[in-house]
Chains A and B, each alone.
Chain A
Amino acid sequence: MSQTQGGFTKQKARNIFWGGSVFFALLFTALIVNTEQHIPQRSHAADITPAVVRGKAVWETRNCIGCHTLLGEGAYFAPELGNVIERRGGEFVKAWIKAQPSGAPGRRQMPNFNLNEQQLDDLVEFLKWTGQVNTEKWPPNIEG
């Protein structure tokens, strides 16, 4: 083969693949182990109350991520909510959720999820906790 003149064989290519992949997979694993040790402090894990846990379940079972972003991840159809408590306050968030859908013609509509007071409070607790996470100063400004 003309390509093998440099002595670069398929076996060498395969060895680079295996050696490289295994090396980086191990390095990645080591970094994840290290990261795990930082997470409790960076996320204020001690503040994860039962209300925060229940709030996360409310968040998940209403598929909020299907329209909103949370810490920048999710759908890009509706506002970022990682800092929504800071931006709007908990009471506003609860009132907003209860008032949906707005029914304004042509505007994006948020469904009404018929949450009870407990669920609303839990959701706010979850978002409040999320707002405390050390995100390396993201988002750049309050608008998210």
Chain B
Amino acid sequence: MKPIALKYKSQAVAKLYFIAALALFAGQIIFGLSLGLQYVIGDFLFPYIPFNQARMVHTNLLIVWLLFGFMGAAYYIVPEETETELWSPKLAVALFWIFLVAGALTIVGYLAVPYAKLAELTGNELLQTMGREFLEQPLPTKLGIVVVAVGFMLNLTMTMLKGRKTSVGLVLMLGLWGLTLLFLFSFVNPHNLVRDKMYWWFVVHLWVEGVWELILGALLAFVLVKTTGVDREVIDKWLYIIIAFALMTGILGTGHHFYFIGLPGYWKTIGSVFSAMEPIPFFMMTVFAFNMVQRRRREHPNQAAVTWALGTSVIGFLGAGLWGFIHTLSPVNYYTHGTQVTAAHGHLAFYGAYVLVVITMISYAMPILRGREANPLRAQALEKKSFWTMSIGMGVMVLALTGAGVLQVWLQRLPTSGAMSFMATQDQLATFYWVRIAGGVIFLLGLLMYLASFFVGASAEELAQQPAHGGKGLKAAPAQRA
């Protein structure tokens, strides 16, 4: 609980972004639970919130809160890495409000009016971009995202130009520029569905299995630099090798989405070979994180952040790596394509790789943004409990969805004659879906614990101990890791 001041005043804007990210995260989970319930109680909330509306809210909130998290992280990291104040803290604050209000209006739009009406009101006729999964945003919102992203990148790039250029900073910037530029493909919607689908993956796949991995690597490397004190030379080398493998496997790995949507058959070979190697960078990330923590040169008082960092490296590998691999080979994917196996992978991958890395960053930076080096021990203990609760909840969900997916394949996909229909199969999966809801409730509990940890103060003993250690490290925190 050593008081500490921000190295650069303008880093303070990150706090707004982090708070918004967590609020939207909570919203995402609430809608997720309602979706889970609709899988077993089909008419739950109908006609007030039909499944498709709730799903748009669930997935769009996920994307937006992760973006808020990345932006907050960048506003925190870039000044520190470049050793200079942000080019324009005012622009950062203005863009925050624009993004938040635009995001909120979009969600209200999804819930308040029928989607076709929303399309009409927002000028979808001018440039038809709506109604494609994850890119459901009305045209003004999409344009707003571009404006916010360009302003954000301008701010960071100008900051970068006037300061020190570190590998962590450069990789982060590269990832964010990639994110911004690839989003432009969301405006590409050819009449031919096959071409539409192909370019759609330029946003979706090349984000999460491409440039976002650069952001992930940079955030993880930053937190590890700060919490372990390991030499930058070593961490930078790991970072470059990890992102090298991420892009060398991930770019052609796009092919694993091109198997059955009308594109040439050669993608089955290319997609299988390269996406089978996509777990490599994630495995390296696990080795990297544990290695750095083992070779640490200091006991950082914020051990909760270290727990999150190790967590993201392991669960990222399980979700993106292992669960991706199980259905990525084209002969397997022929049967699993569009089943609950995909849902299982999607949930664990997003949680492990992106949710956890954003929380890692928030957990590291938020105490400093609040004027102390680390949270009180009791708060950190609660954070660690929340990590385990969320992870166990997610584990239950993912195993249930995997079970549902396997059974779905067995009943609906494998039989060459007399296969069960989609809806009849769904009835057979009800038990798995109930278990999934239980996992979701545990997850929500974990999230509430995490949010509560922000309000937990120091115990009387810890307060009494405080003047005793003005030095580095924290005696009262024996290396409690993961």
A interface list, Cβ under 8 A from B: 1, 3-4, 8-10, 13-14, 16-17, 20-21, 24-25, 27-28, 31-32, 34-36, 38-39, 42-43, 45, 48, 52-53, 56-57, 59-67, 69-80, 101, 104-111, 113, 126, 129-130, 133-136, 138-144
Contact = CB atoms under 8 A, between A and B. Distances in A.
Interface residues of B, number: 79
Interface string B406-424: 0000001111110111110
A57 B190 CA distance: 11
Contact of B47 (A9, A35, A111): A111
Interface of B: 38-39, 41-43, 46-47, 50-53, 55-56, 114-116, 119-120, 124, 128, 130-133, 136, 167, 191-195, 197-198, 231, 233-234, 236-237, 240-241, 243-244, 247-248, 251-252, 254, 258-265, 267-268, 270, 334-335, 337-340, 342-343, 412-417, 419-423, 425-426
A127 B191 CA distance: 13
B409 to A, nearest CB: 9
B241 A142 contact: no
Contacts of B270: 31
A20 B244 contact: yes
25 contacts: A10-B167, A21-B247, A25-B251, A35-B258, A39-B262, A39-B263, A48-B192, A53-B191, A62-B115, A62-B116, A62-B131, A63-B56, A63-B136, A70-B193, A72-B260, A72-B338, A76-B339, A77-B55, A80-B338, A108-B51, A136-B268, A138-B260, A138-B337, A140-B416, A144-B422
B422 to A, nearest CB: 4
Contacts of B265: 136
A107 B133 contact: no
B50 to A, nearest CB: 5
Given A42-B264, A43-B192, A143-B421, 18 more contacts: A17-B240, A27-B251, A34-B264, A35-B198, A35-B264, A39-B192, A39-B262, A45-B192, A59-B131, A61-B119, A64-B52, A66-B53, A70-B193, A80-B338, A109-B46, A111-B47, A138-B260, A138-B337
A79 B43 contact: no
Contact of A77 (B39, B198, B259, B335): B39
A139 B128 CA distance: 28
Contacts of A4: 233
Contacts of A13: 236-237, 240-241, 244
A59 B41 CA distance: 26
Nearest to A13: B240
A76 B260 contact: no
Contact of B234 (A3, A39, A106, A130): A3
A116 to B, nearest CB: 12
A114 to B, nearest CB: 9
Contact of A108 (B38, B47, B251, B263): B38
A67 B133 CA distance: 10
A144 B243 CA distance: 37
Pairs A-B, 7 closest by C-beta atoms: A66-B52, A60-B131, A72-B338, A108-B42, A138-B260, A13-B240, A17-B244
A132 to B, nearest CB: 10
A123 to B, nearest CB: 12
A133 B302 CA distance: 55
B151 to A, nearest CB: 26
B262 A20 contact: no
